[in-house]
């Protein structure tokens, strides 16, 4: 690249030549005195105004303090009459911490109910505004959008909002979508990750990774020759990509898998991976059709005996109002709430075709939040597309208005303080056939037994099967069960914690271990064959066609998110210094709402053995939490795999609870029975696979 050419005739830019300062003369002193006098008067006036504002502020602050104190005591008194307080155990609002806890309890408990009430009354609240927009649209084309008159329910209002937004460049879901295997996407878009993945999956490879020459690309930048990457194993996405699971062993692992596919497309980790990941699991089960699952009428089909499928869809990962490459964004949320088919739904159908699902082979579709709405749409389209969807499982999804095919069995998990399921503006239709006398009180709360592991050292969860109602879906579905739960909430004003896939994974694991009702237990038994037998997990990457701009995870970063990467870099560097660590990915996990819930750390190590020692983990926790304090982080999620123990995943979640204690949940999962047999006794001599421990507030100071 040659140097830029110079002009033949050059005109100098305007400038002031240097000069020597001289003493101030009489006129200068007079001017300075006048300026000082005027400035003094102005500053005096400003000071008096500031004092007045301060006095008014103190009066207003005092009034607010009195009102909040009264509200705190009223709220506390009301909770004294509650048999099982939730979300927090209240204390008299005397000290600062107790008052903050009362306000937090009121906020977390009131907001979702207010949202649900607004959704139910949306026709009365927002229909006049939408009708006015239709009227003004006669003159202003920007407000001209369908529907024009039928605007008296949530889907119609959402459809109107999407149509108006599309006129201004927002909520454009597009039409065409490209779907390809995720490994093919890695080869094309992220060759370094694909290269590393080959080494990690090779059990016979050496413990030392040697990158190929392709890791030095791009070789040029604006004509400058580039050297190798400073830290090959510091590239984003290596650990996250390598830790994809190879089997799903139950309901809890189903929603742990949900977190994986959501984070694989996190644009904040690497905007080149701005995709929606759809997971398809082929299950070869030796049980015949009808043993543990509904019989499938496969006459005239080429269904393979014993073949079942699990198809899982991602939740919202991009909260920008303008559509981007990934079809699981805010645009898809609005389109799905308007009861229209999303681009992600079309991508899901294409992924199922590419996976080779045949008519007559039972399919379980599942998803969290947006993924649950897409699963409901796929279930509704299954007959037309030639798929035999028999089961639908959702968590935190507003699917009450969706129709499902005849014979479908639906299980919906909802947290009682989750705002998102309430956006449908109605309760889920419920059908529980053949209810016995002992199971007739399904609409009442069913507390776990004292010996239940759900008690977890005094932390209670509550479960209920919602009351029997009837809706559009109830006229066709065979079973529709809604289980509501109240998971333990961490400290702080974190309404988003109730809508978080790891929280739903914990809820799913609890009801799987101890179903709250006979109908729920029957459903768990019914889907068990989908999680047994030999499994082959295939991931597919979906992107909109014609949308080439990657969108950030959120358009505006809140106090609990990071926009400069300082904390992420500090965490990554800290973990990279721990002996035995190979690669690290640090990212804020937003599986639910746009605000950060947990800082997630995916770590590849040589051996898992040191991480089973509580002393070593405590040192890591202390160091990481010290760095997180400056970003108001409320917890950590560590996930590890070791090169020497393939098929084993160790993960731990650490959060500060409302009483100040730290709650650690450690889980170990095995991808195969052979891995469990080989490594189970060595890694877990006490025989546990999931363990919850509480630490004192000062444990990691």
**Domain contains 295:** no
Separation of alpha carbons 324 and 320, rounded Å: 8
Nearest alpha-carbon partner for 342 in 380, 310, 386: 380
Residues 628 and 481 in one domain: no
- Per-residue confidence (pLDDT) for residue 439, from 0 to 100: 43
Residue 408 has pLDDT above 60, yes or no: yes
Please tell me whether residues 601 and 537 are part of one structural domain.
Answer: no
- CA-CA distances (angstroms) from residue 50 to 36, 269, 550? 21, 46, 46
Mean pLDDT rounded to a whole number for the chain: 81
Band (28; pLDDT cuts 50, 70, 90)? confident
- Residue 563 domain-assigned? no
Look at residue 221 and give its three-state secondary structure. Answer: strand
Of the listed ranges 592-596, 633-637, 677-681, the one predicted with least confidence: 592-596
End position of a domain, from candidates 65, 82, 99? 82
Most confident segment among 246-250, 349-353, 423-427, 477-481 = 349-353
Question: Which among 101, 153, 98, 79 has a CA at the least distance from the CA of 123?
Answer: 153
Does some domain include residue 312? yes
390 and 482 share a domain? yes
- pLDDT digits over 441-458, tens only? 433 333 433 333 333 433
Global pTM reads 0.85
What pLDDT score does 307 carry? Answer: 93
Is the model's pLDDT at 469 over the cut of 50? no
C-alpha to C-alpha distance for 593 and 498, rounded to whole angstroms: 10
Q: For the chain, state the CA radius of gyration.
A: 29
Give mean pLDDT, residues 401-410. 88
Q: Give the pLDDT confidence score for residue 391 in this predicted structure.
A: 96
Residues 277 and 383 in one domain: yes
Averaged pLDDT for residues 577-587: 84
Q: Which of 100, 159, 547, 15 is nearest to 323 (CA)?
A: 547
Amino acid 89: pLDDT: 82
Domain that includes residue 641, residue range: 568-695
Could you report the per-residue pLDDT of 478-532, keeping only the tens digit for each? 789 999 998 888 766 566 778 888 889 989 999 998 999 889 999 999 999 999 8
In a domain, 454, yes or no: no
Burial degree of 569 (CB within 10 A; 0-12, 13-18, 19+): middle
Reply yes or no on whether the pLDDT at 587 is more than 90.
no
Classified as helix, coil or strand, 49 is helix
The CB density around residue 258, as the number of other CB atoms within 10 Å, is: 29
Least confident of 50-59, 105-114, 183-192, 468-477: 468-477
Which has more pLDDT, 273 or 179?
Answer: 179
* Range in 120-124, 393-397, 559-563 the model is least confident about: 559-563
**Binning pLDDT at 50, 70 and 90, where does residue 580 land?**
confident
Tens-place pLDDT, residues 227-239? 666 677 778 888 8
Same domain assignment for residues 391 and 474:
yes
Question: Would you state the pLDDT for residue 453?
Answer: 38
Q: How far apart are CA 257 and CA 268, in angstroms?
A: 20
Residue 140 lies in a domain: no
- In this prediction, what percent of the chain has a pLDDT beyond 70? 79
Looking at the 3D structure of the chain, how many domains does it have?
Answer: 3
Both 521 and 591 in a single domain?
Answer: no
pLDDT 10s digits, 143-164: 888 888 888 888 898 889 999 9
């Amino acid at each position: 690249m040659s140097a830029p050419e110079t002009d033949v005739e050059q005109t100098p830019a305007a400038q002031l030549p240097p000069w020597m300062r001289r003493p101030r003369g009489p006129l200068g002193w007079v001017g300075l005195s006048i300026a000082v006098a005027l400035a003094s008067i102005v500053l005096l006036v400003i000071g008096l105004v500031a004092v007045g504002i301060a006095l008014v502020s103190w009066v207003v602050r005092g009034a607010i303090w009195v009102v909040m104190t009264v509200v705190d005591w009223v709220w506390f008194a009301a909770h004294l009459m509650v048999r099982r307080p939730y979300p927090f155990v209240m204390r008299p609002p005397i000290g600062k911490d107790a008052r903050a806890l009362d306000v937090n309890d009121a906020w977390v408990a009131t907001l979702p109910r207010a949202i649900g009430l607004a959704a139910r009354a949306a026709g009365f609240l927002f229909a006049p505004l939408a009708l006015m927009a239709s009227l003004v649209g006669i003159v202003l084309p920007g407000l001209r959008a369908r529907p024009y008159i039928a605007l008296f329910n949530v889907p119609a209002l959402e459809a109107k909002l999407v149509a108006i937004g599309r006129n201004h460049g927002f909520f454009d879901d597009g039409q065409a979508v490209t779907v390809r295997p995720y490994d093919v996407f890695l080869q094309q878009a992220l060759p370094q990750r694909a290269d590393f993945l080959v080494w990690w999956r090779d059990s016979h490879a050496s413990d030392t990774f040697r990158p190929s020459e392709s890791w030095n690309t791009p070789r040029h930048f604006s004509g400058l020759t580039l050297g190798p990457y400073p830290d090959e194993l510091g590239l984003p996405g290596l650990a996250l990509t390598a830790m994809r699971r190879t089997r799903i062993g139950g309901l809890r692992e189903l929603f742990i898998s949900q977190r994986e596919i959501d984070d694989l497309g996190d644009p904040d980790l690497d905007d080149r991976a701005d995709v929606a990941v759809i997971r398809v699991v082929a299950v070869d089960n030796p049980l015949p059709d009808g043993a543990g699952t509904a019989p499938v009428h496969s006459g005239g089909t080429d269904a393979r005996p014993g073949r079942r499928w699990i198809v899982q869809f991602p939740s919202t990962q991009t909260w920008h109002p303008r559509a981007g490459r990934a079809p699981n964004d805010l645009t898809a949320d609005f389109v799905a709430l308007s009861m229209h088919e999303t681009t992600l739904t079309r991508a899901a159908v294409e992924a199922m075709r590419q996976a080779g699902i045949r008519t007559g082979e039972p399919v379980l579709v599942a998803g969290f939040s947006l993924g649950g709405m897409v699963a409901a749409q796929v279930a509704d389209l299954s007959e037309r597309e030639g798929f035999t969807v028999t089961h639908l499982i959702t968590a935190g999804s507003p699917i009450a208005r969706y129709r499902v095919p005849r014979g479908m069995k639906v299980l919906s998990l909802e947290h009682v303080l989750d705002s998102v399921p309430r956006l449908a503006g109605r309760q889920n239709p419920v059908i529980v056939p053949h209810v016995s006398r002992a199971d007739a009180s399904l609409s009442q709360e069913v507390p776990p037994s004292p010996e239940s592991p759900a008690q977890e050292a005094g932390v209670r969860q509550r479960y209920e099967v919602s009351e029997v109602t009837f809706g559009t879906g109830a006229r066709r579905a065979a079973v529709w069960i809604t289980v509501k739960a109240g998971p333990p909430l961490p400290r702080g004003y974190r309404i988003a914690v109730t809508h978080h896939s790891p929280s739903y994974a914990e809820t799913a694991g609890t009801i799987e271990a101890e179903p709250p009702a006979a109908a729920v237990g029957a459903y768990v038994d019914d889907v068990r064959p989908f999680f047994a037998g030999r499994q082959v997990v295939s991931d597919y990457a979906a992107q909109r066609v014609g949308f080439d701009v990657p969108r950030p995870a959120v358009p505006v970063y809140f106090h609990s998110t990071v926009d400069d990467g300082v904390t992420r870099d500090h965490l990554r560097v800290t973990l990279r210094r721990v002996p035995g660590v190979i690669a690290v990915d640090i990212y804020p996990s937003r599986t639910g709402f746009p605000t950060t819930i947990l800082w997630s750390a995916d770590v590849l190590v040589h051996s898992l053995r040191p991480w089973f020692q509580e002393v070593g983990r405590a040192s890591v926790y202390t160091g990481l939490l010290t760095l997180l304090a400056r970003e108001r982080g409320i917890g950590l999620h560590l996930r590890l795999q070791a090169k020497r123990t393939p098929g084993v995943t160790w993960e731990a979640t650490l959060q500060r609870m409302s009483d100040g204690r730290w709650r650690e949940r450690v889980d170990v999962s095995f991808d195969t029975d052979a891995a469990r047999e080989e490594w189970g006794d060595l890694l877990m001599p006490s025989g546990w696979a999931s363990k919850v421990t509480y630490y004192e507030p000062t444990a990691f100071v």
